[in-house]
Structure 1
Amino acid sequence: ALQRVARGFGEIRGAVRVSASEVVAVERLPPVLAALRRAHPGLEIELVPSNRLQDLVQREADVAVRMAAPQQEVLVATRVADMAVGLFAHQDYLACHGRPATVDELRGHALIGFDVETPFVREARRGFPFWTRERFALRCDSDLAQLALIRAGAGIGACQVGVAGPGLVRLLPEAFELRLPAWVVMHGDLRASARCRVVYDALVAALRAG
């Protein structure tokens, strides 16, 4: 706690370790962090792309973007958005294989999903029983690799609506949508650290703006 309190009072200079999921870290945060560095050249950013929740109490990260509400009372958190997840395929894939008009028609398509069952997969299966490991023609436990496969036209997969990008077509939005609550979190002791606070505020503003 003493180390946290002693870090960077009043001066926006030095290192801030930022943790976020793979997709958020790669697809959403780089423009935000680049703008921060332009505004504060003395700021050093250590970006940790990981789907594992970093332990902020043990200083594995200073600021984190999480898809789950924090449980520890010592953490400060701001809910910034609900990130929608939908089904997507590249237009080239659809040109070759057709566009499914119903959930049943997904049976004839190459689905992209996880190899190892995760809480996300279990949650998805509650409302979408077709979303099972046995149905996935391509299996990978990396969100970034799944997104790359979708963009390459390998099949149909789930990704965040806000990062789909050119060439990707959303499918069956009325039948498949998950909402992931996003939070920006840091240890309460770091509120007095100027460099941590400026990073925290920038992430909150950017993610709220979409």
Structure 2
Amino acid sequence: MTKNIAWEYYRSLLAVLNHGSLSAAARALGITQPTAGRHIAALEQELGVALFTRSQQGLLPTDTALALRPHAQAMAHTASLMERAAANAGEGVAGVVRISASEVVGVEVLPPILARLRERHPALVVELVLSNQVQDLLRREADIAVRMVRPRQERLVMRKVGVIEVGLFAHRDYLVRHGEPVQVADLANHALIGYDTPSALVRSADGNWQAFSRDRFALCCDSDLAQLALIRAGAGIGGCQTLLAAKDPALRRVLPDAFTLPLETWVTMHEDLRASLGCRAAFDALVAGLQAYAA
């Protein structure tokens, strides 16, 4: 197919898929409902297929529309990248930098680092993406990522900032109520806090961490931030960074010899962004701040 189909047609398609109606899509895009309708009709004509059927529930996407969704999402992402690249092309440390990190690191560790970065460079805009899923820097889902595993992709600038240890912790009030485990087998008598779906980090753990497994958990959540909140609330025993726990005297480590998970911590950036003063400044600030945290 060699047709030059206008990007705004796909933009309207994605909006209708996301919002379920022409009116809602038009509001999200800042256009009129008839304009959104014309975009969908024109796209259907250009492609020679039906994209939606009408029902009492609104517009229902056809299989073709659903097949087009990831491609339209990629186009929207590329358009966003172009806008950021243009904003970062000026002189000085300015523009937008998109930083990805896990929930716990993003909430508990990065805020003071980013605050200092913004004090030094007030024209810099930071977009902080908190996710326990690894963002793909080669596809530019983020500009810079803080990762707890060594990056395997090529074409990345990377700096190891240290090793952060994870151990098992509980609130002192929980231990007063339920006693402290003195051997691994004692965990069977405790409320364990852990993941719902095993991540790459979980799968990489070995040894006694196998005794801390999904089928033994009393509270399950894939949000490490929620797990930390549950530990702090005295709900049970769960995994926590030892450096974070050291800041809270109410948290006590249990079975330290049996449960330890050292995590290499890296700051990574796509190599094409080395010429961006804003990305370079953010990268250097993250490296310095995380090195100080992990020291």
After TM superposition, the score normalised by the length of structure 2 is 0.67
Q: How far did 1:132 drift?
A: 1.4
Find the counterpart in structure 2 of residue 116 from structure 1. 197
Find the counterpart in structure 2 of residue 179 from structure 1. 262
Match of 2:282 among 186, 199, 202: 199
Q: How far did 1:201 drift?
A: 0.3
| Count of residues in correspondence between the two structures | 210
Match of 2:89 among 1, 4, 8: 8
- Please state if 1:103 is matched with 2:103: no
Consecutive unaligned residues in structure 2, runs of 5 or more: 1-80
- Write the deviation string for residues 99-158 of structure 1: whole angstroms up to 9, x where unpaired: 111112111111111122222232334443211111111111111110000000000000
> 2 CA distance for matches of 1:209 and 1:147?
22
Alignment of 1:1-210 (within 5 A): 7-8=88-89, 10-164=91-245, 165-166=247-248, 167-210=250-293
Q: How far did 1:172 drift?
A: 1.3
SS of equivalent to 2:109:
helix
> 1 CA distance for matches of 2:274 and 2:213?
43
> 2 CA distance for matches of 1:5 and 1:42?
15
Higher relative contact order (CA 8 A, sep 6+): 1
Contact 1:121/1:131 (CA < 8 Å) preserved in 2?
A: no
> 2 CA distance for matches of 1:206 and 1:86?
22
SS of equivalent to 1:138:
strand
SS of equivalent to 2:159:
strand
More strand by share: 1
Contact 1:125/1:131 (CA < 8 Å) preserved in 2?
A: no
- Write the deviation string for residues 37-70 of structure 1: whole angstroms up to 9, x where unpaired: 1111111100000111111122211111011222
Identity, in percent, stands at 58
> 2 CA distance for matches of 1:85 and 1:139?
18
- Write the deviation string for residues 61-97 of structure 1: whole angstroms up to 9, x where unpaired: 1111011222222111001111100000001111111
Choose 1 or 2 for highest CA Rg. Answer: 2
After TM superposition, the score normalised by the length of structure 1 is 0.93
More helix by share: 2
Structure 1 segments, 4+ long, off by >2 Å, are 2-10, 117-129
Contact 2:103/2:132 (CA < 8 Å) preserved in 1?
A: yes
> 1 CA distance for matches of 2:196 and 2:172?
25
Consecutive unaligned residues in structure 1, runs of 5 or more: none
Q: How far did 1:10 drift?
A: 4.4
Contact 2:168/2:240 (CA < 8 Å) preserved in 1?
A: yes
SS of equivalent to 1:180:
strand
CA distance change for structure 1 residues 87 and 133 in 2, over 3 Å: closer, same or farther?
same
